[in-house]
Each structure stands twice: as C-alpha cells, then as structure tokens.
C-alpha cells in the first residue's frame, strides 16, 4: 500500500509559530524560498510616492511571488499565507495606502538584503543563508503540500523511501519496528499465517526530521 502521510501537530505548530515573522518581518526570505520552490518571479509592494522618488534605494514593504493559476484562470499571489487571490488581501495586513505599485524584483536583490540582515545579527555565512531559505521552504511544503511545487518535496521523498522500504520488507518477509521510543530498530520475520503488517506511515516530528512508523491491519 502507499505510505500514509500524517500531518501531525508539529507541522501546524511550526507554521503557526513562524507565520507572523514570515508575513511581516522576514518575508524576503520566504519570497526567495517560494521563488525557488515554485519557480515564479518575485514581486514587491511599494508606496507609489517612495517608489517614484527613490526607486533605486527603496525596499518593498512586502515581497511575494506571482503566477498564473490554471484552476482559477487568473494570476494569483503566493506568500506565507499560501494562495492570495487579490491585491486587497495581499496588502491588507500592512496598512499600505491604495496608491501602491507592485514591481518585479530580482532574487539577487532580495538575497543581498537577507544576507545583510543576517550579518547584522552576527550570523552571516552562505551556509546559514541557504539554511534559512530551505527552512522557510520546508515549512511551506508541509503546510501547503498542494501548491504547484516544481520539485519533489521533502515529505514526498520520504514517503517514497517508505514505499520502497515496505516493498523490500515484503520481498524478504522481514519488517522493522521499535521496541519502545528511541530504541534501536528491531528486524523480525513475519509469520505467513498471521500477516498483520500494513506498511508504514510518515509524520514530521521536528524541523528537519520525520518519524516512520509501522502500520498494522
């Protein structure tokens, strides 16, 4: 059977914890993550007056990505909230006046801002920057698995691994389980007269790890 993916409480807790920061604070990191994961262009929202007077030096009030939705037959926006359908919903949390302008931004421009912010916190290096972007992408993959991701998401890769593990177990009639939490994995032979094994489930248990558990009929 196909591996059962369990959302679990941690993925929701992780998302709820990070939502305020990625919405209004570190939206640049999230925009870069979505740009890479969805392969869509980044846009920023600017106050029209500031944009006209200081275009080269003005930073966007909010960054997001924009793409066409075949299902909705219209262009939509993506940020930490997932799919945002219109400009009013996009700008409403920020108190942006009606005279704003959306403008495309190169990923490299936002990346420079993110690097400078991390440097100001004393935590800048290329590894750390990429880790922050990957963390934002993983949070979104787990919260919104049905977004049009252009890569095989982490949870789907792990589910595929568990599918292949189940096939291997069935081939050799040897299964894996834990005796108790955090114990070594135990391999045992299945009794053909008592076929209770029903594959595996995967569930996120912390930021970078997933638990794989046996399912019984």
| pLDDT at residue 68, rounded to an integer | 95
Claim to verify: residue 118 and residue 167 sit in the same structural domain: no
> Domain range for residue 163?
154-216
> Considering the domain boundaries, does residue 148 fall inside one?
no
Handedness of CA 115, 117, 123, 129 (dihedral sign): negative
Mean pLDDT of 7-19: 84
| pLDDT at residue 55, rounded to an integer | 58
Residue 35 above 60 pLDDT? Answer: yes
Helix (H) or strand (E) holding 71: none
The domain boundary, picked from 143, 178, 199, lies at 143
Furthest-apart CA atoms within the chain: distance in Å: 79
> Considering the domain boundaries, does residue 39 fall inside one?
yes
* pLDDT single digits (tens) 95-137: 776 678 888 999 998 998 888 877 777 665 666 788 889 999 9
Residue 113 CA: distances (Å) to CA of 64, 106, 124, 131: 15, 12, 12, 16
Count structural domains, the chain: 2
- The model carries a pTM of 0.81
The domain boundary, picked from 143, 166, 199, lies at 143
The mean pLDDT value of the chain amounts to 86
> Considering the domain boundaries, does residue 149 fall inside one?
no
* pLDDT single digits (tens) 199-211: 899 988 877 788 8
| pLDDT at residue 27, rounded to an integer | 95
SS3 95: coil
The domain boundary, picked from 119, 143, 167, lies at 143
Q: Cβ contacts of residue 10 below 8 Å, gap of 6+?
A: 203, 204, 205, 206
> Considering the domain boundaries, does residue 33 fall inside one?
yes
DSSP designation for 68? E
* pLDDT single digits (tens) 48-106: 776 665 555 678 889 999 999 999 999 999 999 999 999 889 998 987 766 788 889 99
Claim to verify: residue 189 and residue 124 sit in the same structural domain: no
């Amino acid at each position: 059977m196909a591996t059962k993916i369990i959302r679990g409480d941690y993925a929701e807790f992780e998302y709820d914890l990070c939502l305020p920061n990625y919405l209004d604070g570190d939206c640049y990191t999230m925009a870069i993550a979505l740009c890479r994961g969805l392969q869509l262009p980044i846009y920023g929202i600017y106050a029209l007056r500031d944009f006209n007077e200081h275009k080269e030096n003005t930073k966007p009030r909010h960054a997001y990505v924009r793409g066409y939705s075949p299902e909705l037959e219209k262009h939509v926006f993506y940020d930490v909230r997932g799919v945002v359908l219109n400009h009013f919903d996009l700008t409403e949390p920020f108190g942006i006046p009606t005279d704003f302008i959306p403008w495309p931004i190169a990923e490299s421009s936002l990346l420079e801002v993110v690097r400078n912010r991390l440097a100001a916190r004393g935590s800048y290096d290329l590894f750390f920057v990429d880790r922050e972007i990957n963390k934002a992408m993983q949070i979104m993959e787990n919260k919104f698995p049905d977004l049009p991701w252009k890569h095989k998401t982490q949870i789907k890769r792990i589910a595929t691994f568990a599918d292949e593990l189940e096939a291997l177990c069935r081939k050799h009639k040897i299964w894996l389980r834990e005796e108790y939490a955090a114990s070594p994995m135990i391999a045992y032979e299945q009794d053909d007269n008592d076929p209770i094994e029903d594959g595996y489930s995967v569930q996120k248990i912390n930021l970078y790890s997933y638990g794989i558990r046996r399912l019984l009929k």
